[in-house]
Every structure is written in C-alpha cells, then in structure tokens.
Amino acid sequence: MNEHLAVNSEEPLYDPPTVCGIFMQQASRFGDRTLAMSRKNGVWQSVTWRQSRELLPVAVMGLTALGLKKGDSVGIASRTRREWSEADITILAAGGVTIGLYPSASLWEITHVVSHSGLAICFVEDEALLVKLLAVRAQTGRPEKMVLFDPPAGALPAGVMTLESFLEAGRVAHAADPARFEAVWRAVQPDDLATIAYTSGTTGPPKGAMITHANLYYTAINATKMHAYEESDFGIAFLPLTHMLQRMSVYAAMHLGIVGAYAESIDKLVENFQELRPTVQVSVPQIFERIYNRVQAMLEAGSPLQRRVFDWALDVGKRAAACRRENRPLPLGLSARRAVAHRLVFSKIHDIFGGRVKYLLCGGAPMPLHLLEFFHAAGLLILEGYGLTETVAPAAVNRAERFRFGTVGQLIPGMEAKIAPDGELLLRGKGLFQGYYKDPEATAAAIDADGWFATGDIAAMDNEGFLTITDRKKDLIVTAGGKNIAPQNIENLIRTLPLISQALVYGDRRKYLTALVTLNDRELADFARREKLSGPAPAGHEKVRRAVADHIAAVNSRLAPYEQIRKFTILPADFTEAAGELTPTLKMRRREIIKHYGDKIDELYNG
C-alpha cells in the first residue's frame, strides 16, 4: 500500500511572510480593537492591537539592550499567560529564537534544554520558577540574564531584573534610535530559525525541533483554511504555550483577528468558559473527559426520574447525531424531540462551555470515540486533528462540514502524506520542521533525502484523504493531557532497585502513568531471608510491596509531575521469551505484555 495525497497552498498573504508580518499588518488594520484578555486582580483586562503594537518596539529594544543578537536563543519559563505570548512575539521580532521551558519539567530536563540551546536570556514567570533557573545557572552558567514577569517580594540577584526595569531600558534604547526597530524586525527572514521546540524522544534527553518563521507562518495560515471563522469568534488559551498546539492557535488568532483570552488556570477553566463564553475552542481529550465525568457524577446524584429523562434525551441525541453525520435531514418528529431534549438536558452541558460554542477542536492525544459520540449527541461537535511538534502541530484535521469520527481528518493545505510499505505515516510540506538541533544523526533518521518525515505512527488513508492513526510505531506515550513521555527513561530509573527485574510504564491516552513491575527471583530470595519472611509467595508480601513503593516514590521525586508513577502492580512472574514477552535479546515486547496483562492495567485505572 502506498497511498499519496498532496494539497496545494496559496501565495503569501502578508509581507514579509512571517508571524511578525502577520502581527504588524493586523495591528495596523485593527487598531483599537481588543487583541487579548487576561485576568488581573480579579478583573478581566483587555489589551488592544494598538497598545501591543506600541509596546513591541520598546520590548524588542529591551532585548537588544541586554545584548541579544540575531539568532540568539531566548527562553520563556512560564505557565500560559498573556506575557508568554508578548515575550514570544518580542523574541521573534528581535530576530531571536524562542525556547519554551515547561514550568513543571524536572530540574534535569530544564538544565538540559538551557545548556543544549545555549540560552543566554530567559523570561521567568515568578520567584518560584526563578529558584529553579538560578539552580540551573549555578550548574551551567546560563541563562546569564533573566526578566521576571511578576513583581518580586524582595531584592533580586545579579543578572535578574523586573519586567518594568526591562521595559524602561527598552524605552531609553528606542528613544535613542527610533528607526532601529523597523530595521530589526524587517531583517527577519522566512528561512530564519524562529523556535527550537524540545520534545521527548523514545530514549535519551529531549530533542530540539528546529522550526523556521516560514514553518510557523504557513502552518498558521493553512490550518485556518480548514474552518469557517469569523472575526467575532472568541477562544480561551489554557494549554501550555511551550507546546506547539496552543502556540499555533495564538498565531492563527492573530491572522484571523479573533480575540483570545488567557485562562486563569486549569482549575478555573470551566468557570472561565462560563464567564467568557468562547465560540471556538482548542482543547485536549483530558478536558473533555473531566467534563464527561462531571456530567456522569451529576447524573448519579440525580433522582431516578432525572436519569430516565437523561437516557431518553441521549437516545434522541444519538439518533439526531447519526442523521447529521450521514448528511440526512432530521425527520420532523425527531427534530421536535431533539429540541425538547436540548431544553431539558443538553442545554446544561452546553452551559458548561458557556453556551455559545459552535464546535470544539481537539488535538495533542487521541480522543476516545465514546466521548466524540456522547458530545455530538448533546449537540457539541468535537473535531479531532493530528500533528506533532515536528509538523508544527496541525497536519490533518476534521472539518465541521466534513468529518468522520475515528479519523483525524484530512491534510491541511500545504501538507503531503503517504503511507510507507510498513504502514508508517510519512509527511512532507511547508510546515515541516528543519531537523533536530545539534543532532544530524537523528535528523537523517527522521527525514529522508526527498524531505519525507517518518512520524513513527502507523496509519491508513482512504480515497477521500481521511487519515486514521491505527497504532504507534514508536513507544512514546501520549497522555490524555497531551504530554509526550518517553517510558524507557522512567523504566530505567525503576530498574535501579536490584529487587526489580523489569518495569513497563503505561499511560497512553490515560490521565496518569502506571507501571507493571516484575521481581528478580534471586534478589527476592535474599530479601526474604533478610526480612525473615515466610510463606510460599514472598512477592505478594507487604514488606516487598513497601520496598518497591518506597523506591518508586524516590524515582518520582526526580521526575516532572506528569512523568510520575501514580499506581503500580507487582506481577507474580517475570517476563519471558517463551511467553512472547521478551525478544531474543531480552527487550520487552510492549504490545504483547500489555495484551497479556490488560486486566491488571485496567485495575490500576478502575480500582
């Protein structure tokens, strides 16, 4: 099988064809219209395009005053907030390279990214994160200079300044040479490096995907062609801006003129939905799972009559949704029942999102089919897409007027795809990254001489171009929250306890990670003697479990929160080659093990 589909893209809409070009032209066009909103001191505050445009030369000159030269890396260590995006567009306009640092990342990972990227300057959200970055600087000497978003409680160490001081230095530099800003941002070329996005590999430290201004520009422009947007549309950013999915949605909103708000936090997301009432919303499966579980909890707490009404409404909604998916008109009777079902039941689910949502976009991880069908029955269409850091997020997406549940939709314009003989999905196009930073071997392994990128995903493509991802060729775990996790790194840490023979970390499409653990028979016998254990099955002894639990707790302390093992089970026997669980070279056959112990895995999530 070797299916192949290509979609052509149009000529550039902006001059120059960069994210900075989009921003500058749209700022001139929209002027005093609201660009973005964020909550400060309990009040939603707006910033206009004009205000942001007037601040940009000051911020860019602030970076040059810190010694930034074109091509230098600048970090942003912060949760999702308006200042993250402002710092990003400042870095891009100054000719720098944005390096996003996950606030929740382990100290080891942050140290690697800072050192590998050669970070000299970094924007830091608050003093808690500043402590982390100062520890990194003590080890590596970088970043030399840092700018703090939030006001500090006391004096700052050398090389660290407040945001206000940074902007004041920029004002002085801009006043001294008002023409320099125009020359600086226009010197940025489409082929210049814009960002290095670090993504977890299957083994070893994170790899840095090199992404140019042209990659960002064409992906933002072409991804938006898949949907009918209006300038009155509104969305809320809450996913990590270090992740390309959320960052691309911000660039796309610039192009479309859509107002965006920055959520206060994940914990307050539903509250923000209900306050601000988005019309189009990007999310990940985990958020939909939370809302689905919330609905189920409310249902269980309801009366028998309420549950019967809900079941009736859901049946009506499923019948109506089936008609919509098949492009059939709703029969008059079904249409009337659907209206009643909405008024009695589904309107309450719509109200969780604010009541104005036209459709929802989902990416970052596979979306369970039962959730797609449930929300569609309730009248909320979730359009699943597919992409990777290396494709600058969206590569394919379902459309409101043409979607198929169970698929990730069709390619965005400018992207090509074909299926390799072994079933692996290969992609090529204007949005494809340029390779891995300082890693020519990994680049050569990922991108062939003709420019095809090996995604590591097994896929099928029908004659209408709908892509279905059927399996993962690589072992990378993608959690329900869209986090990419390399299980081998964690498994190697778990196996440092001599008592443990093998460990398989699981968590694909799940909310958290779990582990299947096997024990070394010889070490177990020694442990039993030391602890004076008796009985035929010491593997099940409470002291054995406690030893393993204490070790996993120690391992967790070295990991980011999303990498930590929440639950584990000790299997009664080691993995064997005879059972098909190990290769002849004693490597784990993950699929076979997961199949053999599926019931144990389910218990870890359902128990």
What is the tens place of the pLDDT at every residue in 350-405?
Answer: 999 999 999 999 988 788 888 899 999 999 999 999 999 999 999 999 999 999 99
Q: Distance between CA atoms of 477 and 473, rounded to whole angstroms?
A: 11
pLDDT at position 351: 96
Measured between alpha carbons, how far is residue 471 from residues 117, 425, 460, 514, 599 in Å?
Answer: 32, 10, 10, 20, 20
pLDDT at position 539: 78
Digit-coded pLDDT (tens) for 162-202: 999 999 999 999 999 999 999 999 999 999 999 999 986 44
Q: At residue 53, what is the residue type? A: R
Mean pLDDT of 487-494: 85
Does position 535 have pLDDT exceeding 70, yes or no?
A: no
Does position 11 have pLDDT exceeding 60, yes or no?
A: no
The number of C-alpha atoms within 13 Å of 266 and in the hemisphere containing its C-beta is 11
Mean pLDDT of 226-232: 91
Does position 226 have pLDDT exceeding 70, yes or no?
A: yes
Q: What is the mean pLDDT of the chain?
A: 91
Contact between 417 and 4 under an 8 Å Cβ cutoff? The reply is: yes
User: Which tokens sit at 60?
Assistant: 């860019």
CATH numbers and ranges of domains, the chain: 19-188+234-265 (3.40.50.12780), 285-432+447-472 (2.30.38.10), 486-606 (3.30.300.30)
Quick one: DSSP state of residue 151? P
Helices 244-256 and 213-223 cross at an angle (nearest 10°) of 70
- The contacts of residue 577 (CB under 8 Å, 6+ apart) are 583, 584, 586
Does position 3 have pLDDT exceeding 50, yes or no?
A: no
CA 249 to chain centre: 11
Q: At residue 510, what is the residue type? A: R
DSSP 198-237: EE--SSSSPEEEEEEHHHHHHHHHHHGGGS---TT-EEEE
Contact between 541 and 535 under an 8 Å Cβ cutoff? The reply is: yes
Does position 313 have pLDDT exceeding 80, yes or no?
A: yes
Measured between alpha carbons, how far is residue 208 from residues 124, 360, 437, 474 in Å?
Answer: 20, 30, 5, 18
Q: Tell me if residue 9 falls in helix, strand or coil.
A: coil
Contact between 147 and 168 under an 8 Å Cβ cutoff? The reply is: no
